[in-house]
Structure 1
Amino acid sequence: MREQAFDPIKIPAQIWEREETRELLKRRDVPALLKLATQYAGASQVRIGAATGIAQSRISRYMRGLLQATDLDVYERIATGLGMPDHARVLFGLGVSHTDASDPIDDLQQRQQHDELTARLDAAASIDSTMVAILTVDTNNLRLMDRKLGAAAIADKMRAQSNQVQRALHHAVRPGIRTKLAHVLAETASLAGWQAIDMCALSDAWQHYEHAKAAAYEANDPALIAYVSGEQAFVLADLGRPAEATELLQHVHATYRSRIPALTRTWLSAAEAELAAILGDEHTCRTALDQAATLLGDTGHDPDMPYISLNPHHLARWRGSCLLHFGDPHTADELRSALAGMDGTYNRAEAGTRCDLAYALLAAGEPEAAQPHIHRAQQLATMTGSRRQRRRIDEVARLVKRALN
């Protein structure tokens, strides 16, 4: 291998242990010591000069005995350049290198890291099943607040909850508690993802879902994995990539179909229907909607999956939104039925439903009838801070205005 001028000089450790080398060091025999670098490290004068910071011409004169080294600084440069171990430096009349001596600042930083990690591990160790249950309730309460008030109103609470759960999970040691905390984090991150979609912050949404998936995998909950993966598909849809979103949803459905409860399969079927509608595939859309209705039954509520809000009224809302793409004459009736069944706590969802109904009425030649729904949808979108719904509402408002003029 070709010698590199700035490669460090490495004289084998046993050479420094030899009695003859020790005598050279005691005598400060610089020419002989420099020749050790040539003999045992294959170092040229140029390389020795680069390692010691001494000009090659002076190295040559030292080695030929034409110049005598007497300056302590020169001895220090030679010792450092030849990589003398501490015992050799002492024999050479120098102090130890202190390269391994601890830095007070580094010691302080290490102590602080030690204390910080210990504190976090102790805090996580205090979390038991009761505390996990409290965190679960907190996330569910945030979900309820989000439905009514929107993401902006609870942004600080969401950040605090996410940070608390994530910190607890990252420092939890007991496997059982880690699994439960991972489940809470997956739900919390998934909610944050949907809020980001609603705020049209799609890059943030994608990252939230990545965190949610990782937590869901650690929780080893197939239903939760399927749900957060399915929700992530809507980031692709909102990016204008519905084909990829459909492919992702179908993969999730096929992978977990036999391991997830009926409610999750219902949600996935309805989601597939929505994407099929965006793609203009009416047959697939209607088939998926019928499958969702069959799976849902009469109730749809599952206390073990509070993150899925899906009952016959919600499915009617979803169905109406899908059929809107195909000019179905029953769309307005579907959406009116969905509105009648809403309990007033899903303000953002109601804004979307009224927006869909306005589109349906406009398509049916009833722009006047669409106006009150647009007005109420605008109020709700403003109340919840929904940029996603506001864009759709503004678009249908322009279309209705044009139809009335």
Structure 2
Amino acid sequence: MDKRAFDAIDIPAWVWDRDETCQTLKNRDVSGLFNLAAKYSGASQVRISTATGISQGRISQIIRKQRYITDLEVYERIATGLGLPDHARMLLGLAPLDIASPTGNQDDSHREQAEELAARLEAAAAVDSTMVMILTTDTNNLRLLDRRLGVSAIADKMRAQIAQIERAHRHAIRPGIRTRLAHVLSETAALAGWQAIDTCALSDAWDHHERAISAARAAENSALLAYACGQQAYVLVDLGQPAEATELLQHVRATYDHRVPGHLRTWLAAAEAEAAAVLGDEAACRTALDQAAALLPEGETDPDVPYVSLNRHHLARWRGNCLVRFGDPDTIEDLRSALAGMDGTYNRAEAGLRCDLAHAFLAMGELDAAQPHLHRAGQLATLTGSRRHGRRVKELTRAATRGSR
């Protein structure tokens, strides 16, 4: 690697005072910031990557505006890596490093920052209970759209929703409103995290779940915290670390099991069963599945945990997904039962279910029976933009091709 990749990025001080730069900072235009670094310091994407701790591939996507930053901690890394002086950090919405004597001695700049902060606080003060309810409804609607259409159809709306809630939460003064905003932020970030898992963007998924966990703590809500941690375990599964995922889920259940509603308790048990199945621990998997079945309450949803939708058909799908890995002969009946009980609004879930059915039929050597499910799974994976299920369809299709020879 070029030794210059580890050199500090030195952008001339006067660049930060330009009107164009100030506007870039106010807009939190990270693409523009990276272009400034390249233009005025000659920094390559590799050098920016080294300075900020962001992968070079992601740097390239950010510059092309194919990816956006929403995490405050990442903004901090960017500000540090590019050497932003304190008045530039404040324009970006970050605290100055030297609070007593911020860099940039221009009184006009300081006055502008004070006015900017006052405006943000005033805007946040306008957020009342009705506004929080609207934001909550928007997140619920995005969740319903995600089930039907997948992340690709609502990606821009998700980014805007997270940014709006995060901005309001950061500047909210009234404790009650701030707590409720943290609740909505945790739900929304967890949804974004699951979408990132579905598109195989695992680093993004981890960051979204970290945001969801932090917001859940701010909201002082055990259910949100347990759910975000439980979903984060799926990132570990997809990273090839099912043992660590199982351990995390066992810890979450031991810590929160009797402090959260029944639907979430069931969800956590089923998630542990899935991680154990990937790990290859059939006994632990079956134990967790039996616990999930025993915990399942009546009714499909609980208004206290709207992010968990779970009934006996969903649990049958989960059971089939787990036990197909062990060649259980009852798997197909579980999956058929789950498919019969689906209401047509869970397109991404149906893609996974069809993959499981195809897998089960292929394991029994019934190639013709597997093909319609593979075909439909492929259609649904394309409709929802699910790279996760799309990859599985390709793997099963290759297995079917080998089996037909």
Q: Structure 2-normalised TM-score?
A: 0.74
Q: Is the 8 A contact 1:189 1:212 kept in 2?
A: yes
Q: Is the 8 A contact 1:374 1:397 kept in 2?
A: yes
- Secondary structure at 1:240 match in 2: coil
Moved more, 140-149 or 256-265: 256-265
Which residue in 1 is equivalent to 2:309? 309
Distance in 1 (alpha carbons) for counterparts of 2:106 and 2:334: 68
Which residue in 1 is equivalent to 2:339? 339
Letter in 1 for 2:226: A
Distance in 2 (alpha carbons) for counterparts of 1:103 and 1:386: 47
1:276-315, aligned counterparts within 5 Å?
Answer: 276-315=276-315
Which residue in 2 is equivalent to 1:247? 247
How many Å apart are 1:104 and its aligned residue? Answer: 9.4
Q: Is the 8 A contact 2:261 2:305 kept in 1?
A: no
- Secondary structure at 1:298 match in 2: coil
Q: Is the 8 A contact 1:299 1:312 kept in 2?
A: no
Q: Does 1:273 pair with 2:263?
A: no
Which residue in 1 is equivalent to 2:193? 193
Q: Is the 8 A contact 2:200 2:387 kept in 1?
A: yes
1:106-145, aligned counterparts within 5 Å?
Answer: 106-145=106-145
Which residue in 1 is equivalent to 2:379? 379
Which residue in 1 is equivalent to 2:210? 210
Distance in 2 (alpha carbons) for counterparts of 1:339 and 1:317: 8
Distance 1:172 1:393, change over 3 A: same
Which residue in 2 is equivalent to 1:235? 235
Which residue in 2 is equivalent to 1:161? 161
Q: How far does the alpha carbon of each residue in 1:160-196 deviate from its partner, in whole angstroms, 9 at most, with x for none? A: 0000000000000011001100000000000000000
Q: Is the 8 A contact 1:273 1:286 kept in 2?
A: yes
Q: Is the 8 A contact 2:262 2:297 kept in 1?
A: no
How many Å apart are 1:311 and its aligned residue? Answer: 1.0
Please, which runs of 5 or more residues in structure 1 have no aligned partner? Answer: 1-100
Distance in 1 (alpha carbons) for counterparts of 2:125 and 2:264: 33
Q: Does 1:393 pair with 2:379?
A: no
1:6-85, aligned counterparts within 5 Å?
Answer: none
Which residue in 2 is equivalent to 1:22? none
- Secondary structure at 1:230 match in 2: helix
Q: Is the 8 A contact 2:317 2:338 kept in 1?
A: yes
Q: How far does the alpha carbon of each residue in 1:79-138 deviate from its partner, in whole angstroms, 9 at most, with x for none? A: xxxxxxxxxxxxxxxxxxxxxx99997222212211111111111111111110000000
How many Å apart are 1:356 and its aligned residue? Answer: 0.6
Q: How far does the alpha carbon of each residue in 1:30-87 deviate from its partner, in whole angstroms, 9 at most, with x for none? A: xxxxxxxxxxxxxxxxxxxxxxxxxxxxxxxxxxxxxxxxxxxxxxxxxxxxxxxxxx
Distance in 2 (alpha carbons) for counterparts of 1:378 and 1:263: 30
- Secondary structure at 2:328 match in 1: coil
Distance in 2 (alpha carbons) for counterparts of 1:393 and 1:166: 37
Q: Is the 8 A contact 1:298 1:312 kept in 2?
A: no
Which residue in 2 is equivalent to 1:324? 324
Q: How far does the alpha carbon of each residue in 1:267-312 deviate from its partner, in whole angstroms, 9 at most, with x for none? A: 1100000011111111111111111111113324101211111111
Distance 1:234 1:172, change over 3 A: same
Which residue in 2 is equivalent to 1:93? none
Please, which runs of 5 or more residues in structure 2 have no aligned partner? Answer: 1-100
Q: Number of residue pairs matched? A: 305
Q: Is the 8 A contact 1:269 1:289 kept in 2?
A: yes
Distance in 1 (alpha carbons) for counterparts of 2:111 and 2:286: 63
- Secondary structure at 1:342 match in 2: coil
Letter in 1 for 2:151: A
- Secondary structure at 1:344 match in 2: coil
Which residue in 1 is equivalent to 2:69? none
Q: Is the 8 A contact 1:227 1:264 kept in 2?
A: yes
- Secondary structure at 2:159 match in 1: helix
Q: Structure 1-normalised TM-score?
A: 0.74
Distance in 2 (alpha carbons) for counterparts of 1:271 and 1:102: 49
Q: Is the 8 A contact 1:263 1:296 kept in 2?
A: yes
- Secondary structure at 1:211 match in 2: helix
Distance 1:110 1:329, change over 3 A: same
Q: Is the 8 A contact 2:124 2:171 kept in 1?
A: yes
Letter in 1 for 2:359: Y
Distance in 2 (alpha carbons) for counterparts of 1:123 and 1:288: 47
Q: Is the 8 A contact 2:263 2:297 kept in 1?
A: no
Letter in 2 for 1:149: L
Distance in 1 (alpha carbons) for counterparts of 2:249 and 2:203: 19
- Secondary structure at 1:137 match in 2: helix
Distance in 2 (alpha carbons) for counterparts of 1:109 and 1:127: 28
Distance in 2 (alpha carbons) for counterparts of 1:306 and 1:103: 47
Distance in 1 (alpha carbons) for counterparts of 2:104 and 2:380: 59
Q: Is the 8 A contact 1:150 1:386 kept in 2?
A: yes
Distance 1:291 1:300, change over 3 A: farther
Q: Larger Cα Rg: Structure 1 or Structure 2?
A: 1
